[in-house]
Structure 1
Amino acid sequence: MLKIAKRSDKVAFLEVPNTGGSGSKFYRMTGFKSLSKKMNPKEYSRQYVDEAFETTDIVGMSISQDFEFDQILDSPPHKHIIDIIDGEKLGADAIVNIVQVDFTQKGATDGEYVAVKRAFAIIPESSGDGTEAYTYTGTFKVAGQSVVGKATTTDKWATIEFTGA
C-alpha cells in the first residue's frame, strides 16, 4: 500500500518579533485556507540553427506562496501579517521569515524534523472578502536564499526553534 504525504505534514511557521522588540519566535501559521507554493522558474529557451528542436534551461527560481486566511484575533502570525498589510509597510518592513517543517523527514535526533527557512516579501492582494469571516489574501514572494536546518519544539508544535545547518 502506498503511503501518501498529507498536506498537514508540511507545516509553516512565521517569525514574529517579541513584544518590546527584543528577540523573536516562530509561531505555527494556523487558520490559513491556502498556502500553495509556486516555483516560478526563469527559463532560457533557444533554438540553434543546426538543430530541429528548441532547448530550454532553468536559469533561476522565484519561489512564491499564495495565501488566504481568516483573521484569527489571538494569532501572532495573523497580527504580524495584518500589521504589515494594513500599515502599508514597504521594503524591509514588509519582509518576514517563514520556516517550512516537513514532518515526513525526521532529523538526526528524536523529536527533530527537517526544516527550511526563507525570507519573503508580503505582497498584499485583498482583505475583507466574504461575509462569514474577515479574510486576507496575498502572496509571499522570495526575498532571500533558503537555509536548510532542523526544527524542534517544547510546546507540541505551537512554536518552534529553528537551527540552520
Structure 2
Amino acid sequence: MPPSRRQFSAALGLAAVGLTAGVPGPASAQVQVRPWPADRPTPPLALRDLQGRTVALAPFRGKVMVLNFWASWCEPCVAEMPSLLRLAERGAAQGLAVLAVNYQEGDAKIRSFLDTVLGEVPDALPVLLDRDGAAARAWTPRVFPSTVLIDRNGRPHTTVVGELDWTGAKADTLLAPLLAAAPR
C-alpha cells in the first residue's frame, strides 16, 4: 500500500532537512540531536506489541530507554534498523532497553519487513504498534526515524531526528552519560 498523504508529508519533511538515505556522507553527520524541552511533560505511552501484549514505560524505570519511531516505507529507518537490533542485544547487560514503535502499519507488513531486513522478528527488539499515530504525534516531530532517549528515571532526555548508526561513536556519546547516571 502506498504511503498516505500524512506519511508522504513526513517523508518530505525528512528530505527537507537533508536526512534522506540518498544524501552523501555518513548518516551521523546528518542527524539532528535536540534536548527534550525541560518544560515539556513526558507523554504517556501504552501500546500493544506484535504478540498483543500492552507495553508501557513504567516497567522500564531504572533502565535507559531508546524509543525509536519508524515505518517500513522510510529508507533511513530501514538503514538504521540492524544497528538498533545490535544495540538492543549488547545494551541489555548495561541496563538499556530498546523499543521500536512502528507508525500505522499492519502486523503482516511489519513481520515481513523484519524478516527481510533482520532475517527474523527479533525478541531483543520489541516492536510496538502505533496504530493511529497518536504516539508519534506526542513523542516526535513526525519525521522518521525519530528516537527519544529516556533516562533511568523515565524522563525523556534527547530526541534524535534522522538515521543514526546506533553502534557507532555518536550513539555512544549520546548514551554513555545516561548509562553512567544512577536512578534518583
Smaller-chain TM-score bracket? under 0.3
Using CA pairs below 8 Å that are at least 6 residues apart, which structure has the higher relative contact order?
2
- TM-score w.r.t. length of structure 2: 0.24
Structure number having the greater helix percentage: 2
CA radius of gyration, larger in:
1
Structure number having the greater strand percentage: 1
- TM-score w.r.t. length of structure 1: 0.26
